[in-house]
Structure 1
Amino acid sequence: MISWPRIILFGDSITQFAFEANGWGATLADKLARKCDVLNRGLSGYNSRWAKIILPKLISKSCLSENTVAVTIFFGANDSSLKEENPQQHIPLKEYTENLRSMIQYLKTVDITQDKIILITPPPIHEPSWEKQCYTKGSKLNRLNSVAGVYAKACAQVGDECGTEVLDLWTLMQEGGRDYTVYLSDGLHLSDKGNQFLESNLWLILEKKLGALPFVLPYWNDVDNKNPESSLLHMIPEKADD
């Protein structure tokens, strides 16, 4: 069997929705077609506590870790919920950072080294828009942008400490006083522009790691029509991590 290199996207709803039309994961998969599989392991509503528990069931030495060239860990939007309004998803800040460290350490035990791991911070919250969403569900505003920022900073610090790449969405989306509301569809999840913003900034990190990946199997016009077996069976590139 031919083993494609792979990227694994692990996160909450913002990752689960990444393969929707114009989603950041779908765009990434299109860029890497014939070079690298992009696997979506997004779990809507999950926080880092649940993610830490389930990660070994998703990636292990016997499943998916081989030939994995990158893993994104994208949690915090639910962890940073206000405890008094959303105790089901809220995770204390200290535990959140410990959970991120634990996931990084676990991946290293299955031979996914820190240079292959990318932490993504939660995006900013537009409180008026998200408050409307909360009201439709019979609840009060359960997230604040300032609190999301605290969790984003903590996420970035974990990345620095553990030697992983970090995509600080919370900071980048608000950099220079830009109107970050265009990046959000409902005050929390990403709009088309938000998906494009995430993907383009993530690609800046991934391109350095994956830019040299070859096509898997030869171009059609490089196949020897008289002896296709010689082209198709003897031009398979070595694994990306060899």
Structure 2
Amino acid sequence: MICWPRVILLGDSITQFAFEANAWGSTLANKLVRKCDVINRGLSGYNTRWAKLLLPRLVSRSCSGNVAAVTVFFGANDCSLKEENPQQHVPLEEYADNLRSMIQYLKSIDVAGDRIILISPPPLHEPSWEKQCHGKGCKLNRLNAVAGEYAKACVQVAAECGTECLDLWTQMQEGDLDYTAYLSDGLHLSDEGNRFVESHLWSILEKKLSTLPFILPYWNDVDCLNPDASLLQDKNAEP
């Protein structure tokens, strides 16, 4: 059996939706085709409290040796206001501790720290998200400034634990950018937002994955008179 290296995407709805057409995960998967499998483990509505409990069932030691990279993209639900959304809300200190625990678990199963990438929550456009909330019969349940506090904690945890971090909250608002163009409903990514995430994440991943070989030979390199010699001697295959 040929073992493709794996890039595992962990996160909430922003990750779950990443395999939609032209979204950030599907674009990454296309760039990495025949080099590694990009596996989506996004769980819409989940926070770090729940993800920490599930992580051993999502990434086990048996597959860790083949992990080329893992993204951990939570915070958009954790940062919900407790008084308006107690089910998803996770206090800031617990959020940071949960990220630390997830990194520690991944390291304990031999996923190196330089293969782990934290992604902060993106900024929130309150007027747009408030319309979504009102449509569901509830009040505005997130604030951009609060999302920024969680993004800062995400960056700090990455620095403490020796992992990389893509700070979307900061980068999407740098230079007085109109970050609303990156959001479809005030919270989730628009097409432009997906391109932003993919391009910035790819600049990190490309350095880590640039040495991955193309799996199996190009078709015109196959010896048509003796295909066994070309196709059945692959170094990526298990013995």
Distance in 2 separating the partners of 1:153 and 1:57? 28
2:187 corresponding residue in structure 1: 188
C-alpha contact 1:80 1:148 (8 A) present in aligned 2: yes
Shift of 1:113: 1.2
Distance in 1 separating the partners of 2:222 and 2:64? 31
Distance in 2 separating the partners of 1:113 and 1:126? 35
CA displacement 1:86-116 (0-9 Å, x = unmatched): 0000000000000000000000111101110
2:24 corresponding residue in structure 1: 24
Q: SS of the residue aligned with 2:70?
A: strand
1:232 corresponding residue in structure 2: 231
Q: Does 1:7 align with 2:7?
A: yes
Q: Which runs of 5+ in 2 are unaligned?
A: none
1:86 corresponding residue in structure 2: 85
C-alpha contact 2:4 2:236 (8 A) present in aligned 1: no
Per the normalisation by structure 1, the TM-score is 0.97
1:132 corresponding residue in structure 2: 131
Shift of 1:214: 1.1
2:67 corresponding residue in structure 1: 68
CA displacement 1:216-235 (0-9 Å, x = unmatched): 0000000000000000112x
1:54 corresponding residue in structure 2: 54
Distance in 2 separating the partners of 1:183 and 1:60? 34
Shift of 1:238: 4.4
1:89-128 to 2 correspondence within 5 Å?
A: 89-128=88-127
1:144-223 to 2 correspondence within 5 Å?
A: 144-223=143-222
Q: Which runs of 5+ in 1 are unaligned?
A: none
C-alpha contact 2:3 2:236 (8 A) present in aligned 1: no
Q: SS of the residue aligned with 2:39?
A: strand
Distance in 2 separating the partners of 1:191 and 1:211? 28
Shift of 1:212: 1.7
Letter in 1 for 2:92: L
C-alpha contact 1:76 1:122 (8 A) present in aligned 2: yes
Distance in 2 separating the partners of 1:173 and 1:206? 19
Per the normalisation by structure 2, the TM-score is 0.98
Q: SS of the residue aligned with 1:3?
A: coil
Q: Percent identity?
A: 74
Letter in 2 for 1:81: S
Structure 1 stretches of 4+ moved >3 Å: none
C-alpha contact 1:214 1:237 (8 A) present in aligned 2: no
Q: SS of the residue aligned with 1:142?
A: coil
Letter in 1 for 2:140: L
Q: SS of the residue aligned with 2:7?
A: strand
Distance in 2 separating the partners of 1:188 and 1:56? 28
The worse-fitting range, judged by mean Cα deviation, of 27-36 and 53-62 is 53-62
CA displacement 1:112-133 (0-9 Å, x = unmatched): 0111000000000000000000
Q: Does 1:39 align with 2:39?
A: yes
Q: SS of the residue aligned with 2:40?
A: strand
Distance in 2 separating the partners of 1:141 and 1:22? 29
C-alpha contact 1:9 1:15 (8 A) present in aligned 2: yes
Shift of 1:143: 0.3
CA displacement 1:179-198 (0-9 Å, x = unmatched): 00000000000000000100
Distance in 1 separating the partners of 2:235 and 2:174? 41
Distance in 2 separating the partners of 1:161 and 1:226? 56
Letter in 2 for 1:55: L
